[in-house]
């Protein structure tokens, strides 16, 4: 089989289910790619899982049913401050290294879903930095030039995805470490809401702010990973359950920087690309609203220029006092700065943080999401070597405040400068808007024509592609209303052990109506030839034939099952409605889907 440049999740899993590909094939391909890329950049990995262990894992999966595992055979990488059982966790500091006795909870969830850990990736030591230059294991470089930084601290994870070595990678994000490397390598970086992914098994940087983040070639892949991995964990002090908040889809408001607040550190090409991203979002139905950047900037300064740096020392206090000389000089200098603050200073900082949060929370009344540059510009390794702290601070201009203000974020590619260097923007939303934020970011990524990875692979806004097929004897079913996850009739799908395969949209020639007097409330979907709308959000589930039959036989009038065309042209079974009955209800097509409708 000829593998694609980017190992996207759905095509890999679909090929395994069809029997045209096996996990063993995938492991062998990944090992060959890793070996080849090591000759280009030997600093991506700290530890690789031995080949015999990977092949044994592949053989184990081949004894199981592919239809039961959403990530069957999917290869992924893990930042080396996250535990993988039997492998060393170094946090990029040899003196700190230990062998993990169990995997981090997120890793365990992903492996239980059929994914395969390929190895542990390089990072800025103790996840302290945005440059990817603070590691004794080498300094990974951007896939677009060996003289440019990869971004940090999740440096190796971002490069592993951008180079097509794995389907996705876990990073961490305290101050931007899951977003800046995404921008510098032309991929997606999804930073979940704080606490919805367990941090059990993570070496903490700032435990109250840390997030495990996800790198992928598309927002669809990144969101699938988050949805599989997230769950509350009573072992983690800041863990919390996901409580999804809606964002509008068809029309929306997005906050942007005033002209005078647009800082690109002397790079006019970045300014042009940011302006272009704003125009493209307006073409998607967005309305730009200028925001006040001052409280965001003030919050950002608390992280390294204020008492919050004490939390970094708290996480590693004993090691710091015993092994200060074993630490990277710049990282050690940052830890040293914690010693000048008192407990009183810390509480004053917390009070200040919460006052700023109240001010920023009021900003959401003016817009639904923020759209900011991910970083002012990409920098060279030489620049970092000359001014390691100043350059690092500049790179965090638009990222450092996000976790302090309890926001979700999704970084996506936004084009290239005339000299071929990548630029990215980040969509930022209130906490718990992760799902809708990723969907909106995915629309921008696809419709704007921006690519992914070092080979500039095209992406679509849909997680369902023409190659997505059900396993033999199974059926794909698109649901559009009361059967969506979190809605009153979703239990009927759970009863039949349906598995979510995609969150996507219909083709644009569908309308959606709120059915009159329906209990529970539900919509009716109809197709209108020649109509051009936003497309309606659907979830695509896979059921076995018997379960599908039981599900269909229980449907009440006026609902029926027919063929629905999705945004990428593939057809699946789905809910349709009598047109006469549907049109007697309220037309909610402009909302973009039942989840976003105001009834």
Q: Annotated active-site positions, please?
A: 79, 153, 177
d(CA 120, CA 6): 19
Q: Coil, strand, or helix at residue 156?
A: helix
Q: At what angle do helices 219-229 and 105-112 cross, to 10 degrees?
A: 110
Pick the closest to residue 338 from 353, 325, 349, 354 (CA basis).
Answer: 349
b/e map of 139-161 (b: 16 or more CB within 10 Å)? bbbbbbbeebbbbbbbbbbbbbb
Burial 85-117 (b: 16+ CB within 10 A, else e): eebbbbbbbeebeeebeebbbbbbbbbebbbbb
Contact 126, 134 (CB under 8 A): no
Half-sphere exposure of 135 (CA within 13 A, CB side): 36
Report which of 428, 461, 465, 432 is spatially closest to residue 444, judged by C-alpha positions: 461
Closest by CA to 241, choosing from 199, 211, 192, 196, is: 196
Mode of pairing for the β-strands spanning 559-565 and 474-479: unpaired
Task: In whole angstroms, give the CA distance from residue 152 to residue 140.
Answer: 9
Task: At 174, list the tokens.
Answer: 């305290």
Q: What count of other Cβ atoms lies within 10 Å of the Cβ of residue 529? A: 5
- How far is CA 79 from its chain centroid? 15
Q: How far is CA 342 from the centre of its chain?
A: 36
Residues in the chain: 599
Closest CA to 370 of 481, 455, 471, 296: 296
Structure tokens at 383: 């620049």
Place of tokens 């050690």: 332
Cite the DSSP H helix spans in 316-462.
317-323, 329-336, 343-363, 381-386, 388-395, 434-447
Question: What is the distance in angstroms between the CA of the first residue and the CA of the last residue of the chain?
Answer: 49
Which residues are registered as beta bridge partners of 514?
Answer: 523, 586
- Six-digit token pair at 469? 């097929």
């Amino acid at each position: 089989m000829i593998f694609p440049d980017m190992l996207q999740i759905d095509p890999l899993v679909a090929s395994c289910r069809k029997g045209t590909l096996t996990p063993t094939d995938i492991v062998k391909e990944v090992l060959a790619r890793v070996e080849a890329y090591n000759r280009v950049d030997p600093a991506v990995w700290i530890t690789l899982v031995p080949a015999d262990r990977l092949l044994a894992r592949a053989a184990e999966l081949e004894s199981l049913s592919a239809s039961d595992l959403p990530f069957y055979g999917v290869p992924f990488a893990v930042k080396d401050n996250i535990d993988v059982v039997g492998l060393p966790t170094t946090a990029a500091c040899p003196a700190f290294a230990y062998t993990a006795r169990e995997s981090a909870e997120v890793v365990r969830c992903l492996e239980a879903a059929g994914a395969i850990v390929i190895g542990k990736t390089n990072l800025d030591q103790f996840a302290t930095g945005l440059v990817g230059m603070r590691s004794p294991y080498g300094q990974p470089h951007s896939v677009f030039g060996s003289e440019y930084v990869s971004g940090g601290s999740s440096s190796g994870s971002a490069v592993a995805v951008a180079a097509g070595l794995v389907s996705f990678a876990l990073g961490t994000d305290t101050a931007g470490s899951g977003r800046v490397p995404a921008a510098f390598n032309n991929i997606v970086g999804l930073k979940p809401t704080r606490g919805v992914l367990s941090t059990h098994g993570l070496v903490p940087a700032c435990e109250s702010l840390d997030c495990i983040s996800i790198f992928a070639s598309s927002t669809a892949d990144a969101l699938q990973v988050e949805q599989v991995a997230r769950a509350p964990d009573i072992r983690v002090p800041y863990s919390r359950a996901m409580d999804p908040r809606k964002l509008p889809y068809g029309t929306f408001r997005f906050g942007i920087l005033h002209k005078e607040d647009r800082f690109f550190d002397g790079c006019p090409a970045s300014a042009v690309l940011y302006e272009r991203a704003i125009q493209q979002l307006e073409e998607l139905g967005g309305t730009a609203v200028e925001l006040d950047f001052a409280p965001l900037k003030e919050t950002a300064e608390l992280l390294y220029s204020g008492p919050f740096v004490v939390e970094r020392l708290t996480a590693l206090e004993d090691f710091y006092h015993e092994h200060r000389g074993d630490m990277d000089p710049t990282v050690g200098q940052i830890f040293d700065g914690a010693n000048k603050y008192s407990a009183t200073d810390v509480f004053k900082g917390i009070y200040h943080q919460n006052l700023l949060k109240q001010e920023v929370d009021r900003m959401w009344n003016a817009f639904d999401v923020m759209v900011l540059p991910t970083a002012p510009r990409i920098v060279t390794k030489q620049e970092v070597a000359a001014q390691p702290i100043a350059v690092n601070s500049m790179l965090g201009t638009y990222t450092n405040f996000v976790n302090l203000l309890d926001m979700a974020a999704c970084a996506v590619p936004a084009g290239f400068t005339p000299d071929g260097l990548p630029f990215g923007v980040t969509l930022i939303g209130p906490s718990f808007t992760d799902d809708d934020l990723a969907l909106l970011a995915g629309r921008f990524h696809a419709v704007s024509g921006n690519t992914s990875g070092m080979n500039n692979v095209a992406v679509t806004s849909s997680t369902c592609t023409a190659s997505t097929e059900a396993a033999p004897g199974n059926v794909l079913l698109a649901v559009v209303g009361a059967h969506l996850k979190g809605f009153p009739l979703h239990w009927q799908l759970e009863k039949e052990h349906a598995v979510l395969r995609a969150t996507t949209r219909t083709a644009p020639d569908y309308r959606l109506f709120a059915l009159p007097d329906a209990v529970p409330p539900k919509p009716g979907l109809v197709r209108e030839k020649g109509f051009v709308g936003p497309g309606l959000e659907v979830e695509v589930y896979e059921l076995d034939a018997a379960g599908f039959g039981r599900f269909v036989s229980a449907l009440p009038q006026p609902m029926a099952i027919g063929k629905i065309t999705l945004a990428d042209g593939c057809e699946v079974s789905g809910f349709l409605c009598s047109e006469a009955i549907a049109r007697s209800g309220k037309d909610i097509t402009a909302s973009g889907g039942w989840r976003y409708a105001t009834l």
